[in-house]
Amino acid sequence: MGDFDPKKHTAEERGIDANGNYVRGLKMSETRFKNMIHGHSAAEQQSMRQQVDEAEAKGLRTYQIKHAKGYYNIENGIVIGSAKGK
């Protein structure tokens, strides 16, 4: 996964990562979350919300959000890629 570039991405949220460091853009904003879940079923949306909350609680900067048809790659609260399959 790529590096967070503040010139390309606006950090809307912030937090403490798994190493105890203050990080801009660590958490996914509600607007970005709603864009990510658009078109997914209510059950998938709930599952995706839980996955995001768990990753943010752990202070992860990069993680994957799985859904029925594939997954999203998240870095610093931003969807940076996706793929189909499991």
Write out pLDDT tens, residues 39-71: 999 999 999 999 999 998 888 889 999 999 999
Angle between helices 30-37 and 42-57 (to 10 degrees): 140
3, pLDDT greater than 90:
no
* Alpha-carbon torsion (32, 34, 35, 41), positive or negative: positive
6, pLDDT greater than 60:
no
- pLDDT at position 50 is 97
- pLDDT at position 66 is 95
Structure tokens at 11: 């950090």
Place of tokens 């950090």: 11
- pLDDT at position 1 is 43
27, pLDDT greater than 90:
no
